Each structure stands twice: as C-alpha cells, then as structure tokens.
Structure 1
Amino acid sequence: MNVLAAEWVKARSVRSSWLLVGLSLGAVPLAAAIAWAAIGMYDAASPPMRRTARIAELEEVVLIVPQLCMGVMGVLAITSEYATGLIRTSLALVPRRWPVLMAKSAVVGGLGLVVGPVVVFVTYAVTAAMLAGRFPVASFGERLSTLVASAVTVAVFALLGLGLGALLRSAAAAIAVLVGLVYVIPIVVGNLPEPWSEPLGSVMIGALPREIAGADLTSSVYGALLPPPVAGVVLVLYAVVPLAAGLAAVHHRDA
C-alpha cells in the first residue's frame, strides 16, 4: 500500500498529469463543436439531403483524444523517472521491482478507468441531445455495451503506454511506438489486399469495442471477424503483453 500511495503522490504532483487529464476531457467540447457544425450543415441542406443525412457516433470520433493522452501519461509515469534518475531511488526502496510497476499500473489504469467513462458517456449525452431531431441517434440502451467497451480502451492505452515506457525507457521512442502501433499500422492494414486486410483489421484496437459489443460492423473500416469473447481477450492482451515485457525488462536491466 505504501508503494501505491507513493505512486499516486508522484502522479498528482506533476503538472503533466493534470494537463493530460484536462486535454482528455477536452474531447467533450470538441465533439460538441463537431455536432454544432453538423447541425449548421443540416439546417442549410435541402429537404432531400436532410432525409438521408447521417453522422458518425461522435464519442467514437473523439475517443482518440483521451486514448492518446492517457497513453502518454502511462509512458511518462516511468520514463520521466529514468530520465531524472529517480527510478534508482524507487528500486532501491522496493528491491523486488515488480511492486513498483504494478503500483504504477494501478494508478494510471485507475485514472484511465475514470477519464474514459467520463469522456465517452458525457460526449454521448451531450451530442445525442444536440443532434436529436436532425440525425438518427441510437438510444442509450442500444449504445451502452459499445460505450462501455470504448471507455475501457482508455485504461488499456494507459497500461499500454506504461508497458512501452518500461520496455524502451525513452519517452520519445515509446510514444512513437504507441502512435505507430495503434494509428499507423491500422492504416497500413486497411490498405492490404484480401485475404489479409479483414483478419488483421479485426485485431486492431479500434475494431475491438464494437466487436466486444457484438455491434453491426457492416460499415466498419476494420475487419469484423472476432466474436465478443475473443475480442475481449485481444483487448486485454494489448495491456498485458507490453506490461509483461516491461516487467521483464525492469527485472533484467540495471536502472
């Protein structure tokens, strides 16, 4: 418990943590601004165009903001200590090492579990209220499972960033891999010829919330091959595998 308390103090005592949480919450007004622009376009459109008007689920559109912010927080939670040398003090006080990484995981993962639902559910509530009467809006019950799965991905990103930071020890390198892994590679996969595009697209993190929810994926830019339990396991692996690799690196390398 002392290790966990120490990591919580570290997280809330640095300005970058508050900045990243604030930027994450900024996804809500961003989605509201997109909705406002869509309303303006709708009101200016002709009646035939209005009848066929559609808009993407804005909570999914802006989800990239808290995902990336919390992923960066996970990276900085450990790479900042390597950069300043504070990691030597941490590991000297906790020689077994694994409790340090687990405590960091609990802190950044816990923050992700708070920030993710706040952003996702508030964004849905605000934009659904704004768009109702103009665009088709799925009910809360219809969207609930997808909203929950989407919110959980924010915590997964935080743990993914922490694992990459522990493994690479460099904030720049870990953030570059984080961005490449979850944003660049899906673009490459999406442009692969079949039969490779859909199977590989199905395991991209962007595809997983809807697969977990068993939602309609006919219009998805990803694949749609994973049943909900398998998609859930893949999402967990996005967090567990980097953390395991990072833990092994912390155990076998000097601080």
Structure 2
Amino acid sequence: MNALSSEWLKIRSVRSSYLIAGLSLCGILLGLGLAWMTADMYDRAAPAQKTGARLAALEEVVLIVPQLCMGIMGVLAMTSEYTTGLVRTTLAIVPKRWPVIAAKSAVIGVVSLLTGSLATFGTYFVCRSIIGDRFAGIYLVPFADKLPLLIAFSLTVPTFGLLGLGLAAILRSTSGPIVLLVSLVYVIPIIAGNLPQPWSDRLGSVMIGALPREITGVSTIDTVYGSLLSPAAAVAVLVGYSLLPVVIGAWLLRQRDA
C-alpha cells in the first residue's frame, strides 16, 4: 500500500503527467475538427456523391492520440527514475522490487483507463452531435449497440500504458520503447496489410488495433487488420500485450543492479 501511495505521488507531482493527460484529451478536439470538416464537405457535395460517401468512426481514428500519450507516460514512469537516479532510493526502500512494478502498473493502468474512456466517449458524443444523419447514418446506430465497441476501444489505452511501462523496464531507455509503441500503431499494421495472404490476416488479427472489433464481433472490413481471432482469444491477446512486458520487466528488475 505504501508503494502504491508513493507511485501515485510521483505521477501527480510531475508536470509532464498533466501535460500528457491533457494532450490525450486533445483527441476530443481533433475529433471535433475532423467531424466539422467532413460534415462541411458532405453538405457541399453533389447528391450523387452523398449517396456513396462513407466515413470511418472518428473515435477510432483519433484513438491513437490517447494510446500513444499514455504509452509515453508509462515509459516515463519507469525511465525518469533511472535518469534522475531515484531508482536507487526506490529499490532501497522496497528491496523486493516487484511491488514497485506492481504499484506503477496499478497507477498507470487506472490513469490510462480514465483518460482513454474520457477521450473515446467524449470524441464519440462530439462526433455524433456534429455528423448526425450524414454518411449513411454511421452515427445513428443506437448507443447501446455501440457501447461494447467503445468500451473495447477504451481498454486499448491502458494496454498501451502498461506496454510502455513494461518495455521501459525491459530496455531501461526512453527512446527504444517509444519507437516500438509508434511502430505498433503505424508501421507494423501497414506492413501486415501489405503481406500476401494468409499472413496479412494472421498478423493483422493480433494487432492491438484489431482486437476491439474482434472482441465485440464487429467487422474489420475496409481496415488493414484481420479478424481471425474469437472474442475470447482476442481478450487473451489484449491481456498478453498488457501484462507480459510488465512481468518480464519485473523479473529483469530483480536480476539487474539499479
């Protein structure tokens, strides 16, 4: 409990934490801007163009903002202690070491979940109010039907937070984990989408971006992702992304010198 209080104090006493959380919520503003722009383009289009116009779910498009921000917060929660040398004091107070990772994981997980939920649901409601019945009524789907997918989207944000924390504990650097996080969002999905079948679907199905749709049974057509996993398997993969790097990082922390 003392370790948990200590880690919460560390997070909330650093200005960068508030900056990162604020940037995460800026995803709502990005969604608002995209919704306003696309609605204006739709209204200006010819009737024939409106008939075939389609729009991606904007809350999914801007989800990368809180994902990457919380991933970076997870990285900094670990590497900042190595940079300042505070890790020696931390490990002297908590010699078993694994409670340090556990406490950091709990704090980052809760902060990321709250931030991700606010960003996801906030973007959805803003876009729903602006888009209305445009684009074949993409935002006219009843909220109750959309809720499971929105929850699944929100859960990917703490996944990135814990993934960043775990990778930082493994690599003990700031740049390496951030590059890996960006690759998971941008680079690897593009590579997967351009591989020959069946490897494109196989790799695309285990990408974090595919898991919310696989968990909820929503089609991944018109995306770079595959849809080969069952809901239970997709949940297991999402949990693996969240916990496996943290467990490995905790084990390495016990084996290494500070």
State the TM-score bracket (shorter-chain normalisation): over 0.9
Deviation at 1:154, TM superposition (A): 0.3
Counterpart of 2:50 in structure 1 is: 50
Runs of 4+ displaced beyond 3 Å: none
Tell me if the contact between 1:198 and 1:223 (Cα under 8 Å) persists in the aligned partners: yes
Counterpart of 2:120 in structure 1 is: 120
Distance 1:48 1:225 in 2: 36
* 1:160 maps to 2:178: no
Distance 2:226 2:184 in 1: 17
* 1:228 maps to 2:217: no
Q: How does 1:1-255 map to 2 (within 5 A)?
A: 1-135=1-135, 136=137, 137=139, 138-255=141-258
Distance 1:172 1:241 in 2: 20
Query: Which consecutive unaligned segments of at least 5 residues does structure 2 have?
Result: none
TM-score (structure 2 length as normaliser): 0.97
Q: Percent same amino acid at aligned positions?
A: 56
Name the stretch that deviates more: 171-180 or 111-120.
171-180
Distance 1:212 1:181 in 2: 19
Deviation at 1:183, TM superposition (A): 2.6
Root-mean-square deviation (CA), in Å? 1.0
TM-score (structure 1 length as normaliser): 0.98
**CA deviation vs aligned residue, 1:2-41 (integer Å, no higher than 9, x gap):** 1111100100011110000000000001000000000110
Tell me if the contact between 2:31 and 2:62 (Cα under 8 Å) persists in the aligned partners: yes
**CA deviation vs aligned residue, 1:166-212 (integer Å, no higher than 9, x gap):** 01111111111222234311211111111211011100110000000
Deviation at 1:226, TM superposition (A): 0.6
CA change 1:241–1:182 in 2 (3 A) is farther
Distance 1:181 1:246 in 2: 19
**CA deviation vs aligned residue, 1:95-148 (integer Å, no higher than 9, x gap):** 000001100000000001101111111111110111013221222122111100
Tell me if the contact between 1:164 and 1:178 (Cα under 8 Å) persists in the aligned partners: no
Distance 1:147 1:103 in 2: 27
CA change 1:123–1:133 in 2 (3 A) is same
Q: Secondary structure at the residue paired with 2:104? A: helix
Deviation at 1:253, TM superposition (A): 0.4
Distance 1:213 1:199 in 2: 18
Distance 2:193 2:40 in 1: 32
**CA deviation vs aligned residue, 1:22-65 (integer Å, no higher than 9, x gap):** 00000001000000000110111001111222211000000000
Distance 2:118 2:20 in 1: 14
Q: Secondary structure at the residue paired with 2:229? A: coil
Tell me if the contact between 1:164 and 1:246 (Cα under 8 Å) persists in the aligned partners: yes
The number of equivalent residue pairs is 255
Tell me if the contact between 1:24 and 1:66 (Cα under 8 Å) persists in the aligned partners: yes
Distance 1:196 1:118 in 2: 35
Query: Which consecutive unaligned segments of at least 5 residues does structure 1 have?
Result: none
Tell me if the contact between 1:202 and 1:226 (Cα under 8 Å) persists in the aligned partners: yes
Tell me if the contact between 1:112 and 1:155 (Cα under 8 Å) persists in the aligned partners: yes
Distance 1:202 1:120 in 2: 22
